[in-house]
């Protein structure tokens, strides 16, 4: 087991001289730092297979939907990471032969995106490496810790709902004239 003294705090990692002013700031920056670390490992893995994380995400969504596919804009909501231009992402996947676009018989204006056999085969090749990477990155956490982490992340992501249903005092947004700058 790793000694707690070998694990550096975020303050040490970013070489911040003074403690964080707010625990919320430290938590937010810890989330960003952790996300960047995990994302980097997965990005390198996906690059070896010639795709990006958002492209992998679209392929997984399409595999899960199956059937005739889905309209391009309907891919945006289930995406884990939002992308600014889903159309270009879909264009690249189509050029690579991983997805196809087909007009519907009912309305030729409607185009459905579906995963191709080549896309399914790529995902099949990636299933095991993705699971390996997930375990490599997070298996040191106990099952209860993973459950707690998931609950806390869900709670952080849905802060407005929690604030509205609790006795938390309304957090007022500072005005531009307050002169307070976070750094």
The pLDDT assigned to 159 comes to 83
The pLDDT assigned to 43 comes to 94
pTM equals: 0.79
Q: Which residues contact 98 (CB under 8 A, 6 or more apart)?
A: 51, 55, 59, 115, 116, 118, 119, 122
Mean pLDDT in runs of 10 for the chain (183 residues)? 68 83 91 92 95 95 92 88 88 97 86 96 97 94 96 90 67 62 52
The pLDDT assigned to 176 comes to 64
Asked whether the beta carbons of 33 and 66 are under 8 A apart, the reply is no
With residues binned 3-state (H G I as helix, E B as strand, rest as coil), the percentages for the chain, rounded to 5, are: 60, 5, 35
The pLDDT assigned to 108 comes to 81
The pLDDT assigned to 139 comes to 94
The pLDDT assigned to 68 comes to 87
């Amino acid at each position: 087991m790793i000694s707690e003294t070998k694990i550096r705090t975020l303050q040490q990692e970013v070489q911040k001289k003074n403690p964080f002013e707010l625990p919320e700031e430290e938590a937010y920056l810890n989330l960003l730092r952790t996300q960047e670390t995990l994302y980097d490992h997965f990005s390198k893995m996906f690059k070896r297979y010639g795709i990006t994380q958002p492209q992998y995400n679209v392929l997984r969504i399409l595999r899960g939907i199956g059937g005739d596919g889905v309209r391009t804009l309907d891919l945006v909501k289930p995406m884990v990471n939002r992308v600014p231009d889903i159309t270009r992402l879909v264009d690249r996947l189509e050029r690579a032969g991983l997805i196809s676009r087909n007009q519907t018989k009912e309305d030729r204006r409607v185009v459905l995106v579906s995963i191709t056999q080549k896309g399914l085969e790529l995902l099949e090749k990636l299933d095991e490496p993705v699971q390996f990477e997930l375990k490599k990155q997070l298996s040191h956490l106990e099952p209860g810790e993973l459950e707690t982490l998931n609950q806390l992340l869900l709670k952080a992501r849905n802060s407005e709902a929690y604030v509205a249903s609790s006795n938390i005092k309304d957090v007022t947004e500072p005005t531009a004239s307050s002169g307070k700058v976070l750094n």
